[in-house]
């Protein structure tokens, strides 16, 4: 299904969705995402992003059985947000097996330009955020640590607080909180990042595209996505992390 076909199917099913938002969203999705989710599922994802007019975060957690969960996160787009999200998932003992991550521009909001990195410690001024994120993670609770309703509620509250810190440009405070939570979580289990192992990284600058495609293959270790994204000073478009087995992680990411 092409982005245009998807947009028409979504409009036919959910005419209340704004066409400008649909166009931006449909242009941002990956082929893997389209193959995984139905038009009905995608309409539900877009509806979550539409609800961000009244809230900074929309979160949906679905219990898939067998200690597996689907975590759907809709929020405004801020610097360091992906690192905060993946770090908090790891801190709650959740191992990411698969994900669909995208950024798009919402309609009816003022455009902004976010710097890719900071110089001399200066922080950007707070701006009206028009870009939105829709991140979907398929996770599994490690070592039979159930992601209970109480933990889900705590995860929601902590993530909302961290996103508010990002909205106020308090990036270091948000990262310090995640670092502390992740350190405490790893210390309370038998898990450890272990020795550094080889990581294979490939870049693809395809002609005619504004985005560079980066493919990463590495052993899957606790907090891997968080460690990687902390060292990633680029603006993201979309990403598809995937772990076909407990010991391996592969990510294909479009960035600039």
> What's the pLDDT band for 240 if we cut at 50, 70, 90?
low
Q: How large is the C-alpha radius of gyration of the chain?
A: 18
> What's the pLDDT band for 110 if we cut at 50, 70, 90?
very low
Mean pLDDT confidence for 54-80? 93
Asked whether the predicted pLDDT for residue 107 surpasses 50, the reply is yes
Give the range of the structural domain holding residue 245, as residue numbers without chain letter: 56-104+117-255
Mark residue 143 as left, alpha or beta (left: phi above 0; alpha: psi -120 to 50; beta: remaining): left
- Cβ atoms of 73 and 57 closer than 8 Å: yes
pLDDT above 70 as % of the chain:
73
Question: Buried b / exposed e across 75-96, counting CB within 10 Å, b at 16+?
Answer: bbbbbbbbbbbbbbbbbbbbbb
Give domain status of residue 26, yes or no.
no
Asked whether the predicted pLDDT for residue 122 surpasses 50, the reply is no
Give domain status of residue 28, yes or no.
no
Give domain status of residue 183, yes or no.
yes
Give domain status of residue 23, yes or no.
no
Give domain status of residue 236, yes or no.
yes
Give domain status of residue 142, yes or no.
yes
Domain count, the chain: 1
Q: What is the pTM of this model?
A: 0.78
């Amino acid at each position: 299904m092409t982005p245009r076909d998807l947009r028409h199917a979504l409009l036919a099913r959910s005419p209340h969705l704004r066409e400008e938002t649909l166009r931006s969203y449909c242009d941002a999705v990956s082929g893997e995402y389209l193959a995984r989710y139905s038009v009905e599922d995608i309409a539900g994802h877009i509806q979550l992003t539409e609800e961000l007019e009244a809230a900074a975060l929309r979160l949906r957690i679905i219990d898939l059985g067998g200690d597996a969960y689907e975590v759907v996160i809709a929020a405004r787009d801020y610097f360091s947000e992906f690192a905060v999200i993946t770090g908090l998932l790891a801190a709650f003992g959740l191992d990411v097996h698969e994900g669909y991550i995208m950024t798009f521009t919402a309609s009816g909001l003022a455009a902004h330009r976010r710097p890719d990195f900071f110089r001399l410690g200066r922080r950007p001024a707070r701006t009206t955020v028009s870009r939105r994120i829709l991140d979907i993670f398929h996770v599994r609770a490690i070592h039979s640590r159930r992601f209970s309703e109480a933990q889900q509620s705590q995860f929601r509250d902590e993530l909302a607080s961290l996103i508010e810190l990002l909205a106020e440009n308090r990036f270091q405070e948000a990262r310090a909180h995640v670092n502390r939570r992740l350190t405490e979580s790893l210390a309370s289990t038998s898990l450890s990042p272990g020795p550094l192992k080889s990581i294979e990284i490939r870049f693809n600058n395809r002609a005619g595209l504004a985005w560079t495609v980066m493919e990463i293959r590495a052993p899957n270790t606790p907090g891997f996505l968080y460690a990687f994204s902390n060292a990633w000073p680029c603006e993201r478009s979309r990403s598809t992390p995937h772990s076909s087995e407990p010991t391996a992680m592969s990510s294909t990411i479009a960035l600039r």
